[in-house]
Amino acid sequence: MIVNTNIASMNAQKSLLGTNNAMQKSLEKLSSGSRINKAADDAAGLAMSEKMRGQIKGLNQAVRNAQSAISLIQTAEGALNETHSILQRMRELAVQSASDTNTTDDRAKIQAEMDQLAKEVTRISNTTEFNTQNLLAGGLDNTFHIGANAGQNMSLSVGAMDAKSLNVAGNMVTTSFGAGELAQTGITGITTQSEGLDGKFIAAKKTVATYTPGAVFAGAAAVTDNASAYTGSVDKTFTLKVATVAANEVTQLQYSTDGGATFKAATWTAAGQFTLEDGVKIDIEADGALAADQTSTFAVTADKITFTLAGADDGSSPIGDEVNVYRNNTSAIIGDPATDTEATVNFDFATVLAAVGAAYDAADSSEISQTTQSSTAAVTGANGAVSTEAVTYSGIKVTSQAKANLAITTIDNAINAVSEERSNLGAMQNRLEHTINNLQTASENMTSAESRIRDVDMAAEMSQFTKSQILSQAGVAMLAQANQVPQAVLKLLG
């Protein structure tokens, strides 16, 4: 027998220590509910579960993002619902005015309500907001993040829903044309001479006049002549920029609705070719020189060219009506080659019709809008008038039976435009609702997977804890017994 070393006691202590450690871990897991409380518990499981946690949090946030997007859509769609109601009332008024049982006085009162309704359409468009973002003014182009990872987006765009954009109201700068004529003489090297000019615009030097033809070209390409006289851009809008124009540096632009367009210059240093995005060719050709102070023309080469009137730089803008210029007198824009401070833009209105947007009074039928970045004056023929005053009025008129009929068509187009926008919003809302369902399902499944890795099985761990607890109690008892073994030596001494 030995007394210096108690091997039995040491073994009992070792077992008791292991049992106590196991019991401590079980207590930690049972008290936290987690199988992994630190990396040492399961290093690989910890790394996997942390990635899953990131996915779960991302999915849950994506659900909230989609719900916010639905709220935005509902706000916009609710406003458009009221716009629809207003347009339906405007159509009702137009139908009422289309009957000749109404007197001129009656129609004037109907027109007054029509104007107020148009203003309310614009007010709704300008004031409908979500989180300070205007929804219906035409600038909304939002991206909604609807996934847990980068790039999982969907986009929403909402067009302008104001009365002007719907062609039922607006502001315009008007210029009246008289019955006078402008002769064009002394021009050489031009394929077509202009006849029957009814008037012309005079724009201050270095101003920009913008006209929007109907969708002649789908693409866009900037065209600049090497004489630095004019620059143009074809993308539904055609811009003439008046620069320093020297003698014999006059350009001619010809539009053709059959897909071709040609720029010609009186004097050009070189020929070349430009290509629009849709593949339409623009050929640059050299023509004969012009005498000083003479002009070349921008000729309408198709049977009909449609110009949509552009807005003005003073804050006013056109009502969106279109003016159809027919080919029976092919003259249009004329540039003045002189090196003074003005350039001349001429239009032929041998036949001018109001189209698409509005019904004009007889006196209005020869009006066109011009926009510039500085002041503009209009000079017409001998019997013409000059006007640069911005005026505001409803884009549709119901002051006669014919105008009321045209107003019905215009309002129908506006109703269709709003319906299309609401349909898009409704479709997007339905999509987002399905997106939310999918995200919630994905989050649920991912959470379940993460739980299996990270959460403790309480029943199994309780069994383990009970086992450790019993072993601990037995270990303490056995340690006490082992410590008593050396005392047997005392009996030998006695």
Top pLDDT among 441 and 260 is at: 441
By three-state DSSP, how is residue 465 classified? helix
Query: Which helix or strand (DSSP H or E) is residue 77 part of?
Result: helix 43-97
Neighbours of 114 (CB within 10 A): 27
What percentage of residues in the chain have a pLDDT greater than 90?
41
Pairing of strands 304-308, 208-213: antiparallel
pLDDT, position 271: 35
Beta strands (DSSP E) in 235-375 are 238-241, 251-255, 261-265, 272-275, 281-286, 296-298, 304-308, 322-326, 333-335, 342-347, 352-355, 367-369
pLDDT-derived band at 487 (thresholds 50, 70, 90) equals: confident
pLDDT, position 483: 87
pLDDT, position 47: 94
What structural domains and CATH numbers belong to the chain? Answer: 49-165+410-445 (1.20.1330.10), 171-394 (no CATH)
pLDDT, position 41: 87
CA terminus-to-terminus distance, the chain: 16
- Over residues 179-200, the mean pLDDT reads 30
pLDDT, position 4: 82
Q: Which amino acid is at 106?
A: D
- Reading the block at residue 249, the tokens are 């540096």
- Over residues 151-179, the mean pLDDT reads 71
- Over residues 442-446, the mean pLDDT reads 96
* Dist CA 329 CA 346 (whole Å): 12
- Over residues 248-271, the mean pLDDT reads 30
Is 0.75 surpassed by the pTM of this model? no
Give me the DSSP letters along 273-297.
EEE-TTS-EEEEEE-PPPPTT--EE
pLDDT-derived band at 5 (thresholds 50, 70, 90) equals: confident
The DSSP output letter for 395 is S
pLDDT-derived band at 494 (thresholds 50, 70, 90) equals: low
Most confident of the ranges 38-42, 258-262, 354-358, 450-454? 450-454
Total residue count of the chain as it appears in this document: 494
Whether pLDDT at 177 is above 50: no
What percentage of residues in the chain have a pLDDT greater than 70?
54
Burial of 397 (0-12, 13-18, 19+ CB in 10 A): buried
pLDDT-derived band at 161 (thresholds 50, 70, 90) equals: very high
- Reading the block at residue 91, the tokens are 């159509």
Q: Show Cβ contacts of residue 471 under 8 Å, excluding neighbours closer than 6 positions.
A: 15, 19
pLDDT, position 490: 80
pLDDT in tens, 50-81: 999 999 999 999 999 999 999 999 999 999 99
